[in-house]
Structure 1
Amino acid sequence: MSSGLRDLLRPVARHPSAVLLVAQLVGVLLYPFAESLAWGRGLFEVFGALVLGLAVWSVRDSPGPTWVALILGISASALSVADALSPNPTVAVVSAALHAVFYFWAAGNLMAYMLADATVTRDELYAVGATFTLVAWAFAYVFTVLQALQPGCFTAAVDPQGQRTWMELLFLSFTNLSSTGLSDVVPITPHARSVVMIQQLAGLGYVALFVSRLVGLTINRQQQQHDAAGSARSEAGGPGEG
């Protein structure tokens, strides 16, 4: 490997959470094309496998065992490919359920990674965003499973009686988790509303615990640096006093 390529990959290797976050956001932009193009389903599955791999890579140094993430990720991807080649409702539901468990697992490991340090690193700042997207993806897959088991549990302004697309459910997950409430997709059955309420609580708890913690640690570090600088100045001026 050339030195130029190593120099390019070094910051990528140091910040896996940033790579995962960028990949997730790129996915948000690509998924509408996946729904409108004839070969879009294949694009969706290939990109989904890439994101799963990046998620495994991002949590490889986290407290949880990596083999669990590998088994969940490989199983979810394999079932997705199988369903794409030969659509089967049961396989689709099991695949969505495994995806949800995987993303929750990966998000939990990133949360443990953020809680393990007493100082804020640059990768932890990226991990805040990456974890948010992982949780949003996880609940979108939960909504997918719920819709398969209870057709018509979500309605929308466009085609109220139809099944909601993946992009609609992901949009609902993002708006619900962020508490913006801008989604035109609405849960209309008790079970769907229960899951949405749990996600609302998860979103509030995430902001309250992790975002506020990182802000507090950043302010504390700045205060420590200020105190250290003041102490250094005092020591430097001490011998000349008197």
Structure 2
Amino acid sequence: MAMSWAPSILAPWRLAYGLRKHPSTILLIVQVLGILSYPLMENTGAGRAVFGAMSIAVLSLVLWVVNRASAHWVAWLLAVPSVLLSLLANFAGMPTLLPWAHALESILYFYAVAGLIRYMLGDMRVTTDELVSAATTFTLLAWAFAYAFSACQAWVPGSFSEVSVPPQPRTWMELLFLSFSTLSGVGLSDIVPLSPLARALTMLAMFSGVMYIAIAVSRVIALTVRRQQQR
């Protein structure tokens, strides 16, 4: 009788062990949860503090992913000052430091994207982890441009505006929505870039989204189809 309970007792441990071997899966889950929870955080001081803490947790997961795919010292060189600046901005009343934190986070996310793409293109077979990494890489790319947009609007006020609305600072969720809609080519965002720097970043986002699908995603799909045909 005791043995019949063993599989159910061991199941959570097996799941945790399996997820530990696939950090990209954990990162993707946390980022999706972040998309669902960010709207509840950005309108209150306590919510923004929680958002800052959650951003640091996501950064830790990014470091975990990067350590597997790239040179880890570069990631730490970007992450440590970013976390310090974010803590000072969110908990020490120094909001002017936040754009610098976001700029460093943006660079770190781009670095993580490069590492994951190199990981996915490193061999001629497609594993489940590489399929998840393809989705995770896209979300990292979206986060990277959203942080770049955030730093841009802090340094160049009026960089982004809602259609037919006077320029004003956009929320994080609005900038993330702009990033996703630009990278995906859907173009559903009602936020438009106004300053030259904002438009340059947006054009880079468009180019990155198209090239990511053309190079990384298409290759993963082609290798998956090839594997199915060889069975």
The alignment status of 1:50 with 2:57, answered yes or no, reads yes
The alignment status of 1:24 with 2:31, answered yes or no, reads yes
Gaps of 5+ in 1: 226-242
Q: Distance in 2 between matches of 1:137 and 1:60?
A: 19
Counterparts of residues 1-242 of structure 1 (less than 5 Å): 6-62=13-69, 64-157=70-163, 160-225=166-231
Q: Distance in 2 between matches of 1:24 and 1:173?
A: 14
Which one has the largest radius of gyration?
1
Q: Distance in 2 between matches of 1:22 and 1:139?
A: 19
DSSP-derived class of the 1:59 partner: helix
- Percent identity between the aligned chains? 43
DSSP-derived class of the 1:142 partner: helix
Q: Is the 8 A contact 2:52 2:87 kept in 1?
A: yes
1:164-198 alpha-carbon deviations (Å, 9 max, x no partner): 11111111001001110000000122221121111
Q: CA deviation at 1:92?
A: 1.4
Gaps of 5+ in 2: 1-8
Q: Is the 8 A contact 1:59 1:106 kept in 2?
A: yes
Aligned amino acid, residue 182 of structure 2: N
TM-align CA RMSD: 1.7
DSSP-derived class of the 2:187 partner: coil
Moved more, 88-97 or 176-185: 88-97
DSSP-derived class of the 1:186 partner: strand
Q: Is the 8 A contact 1:45 1:77 kept in 2?
A: no
Number of residues paired by the alignment?
Answer: 223
Q: Distance in 1 between matches of 2:163 and 2:47?
A: 24
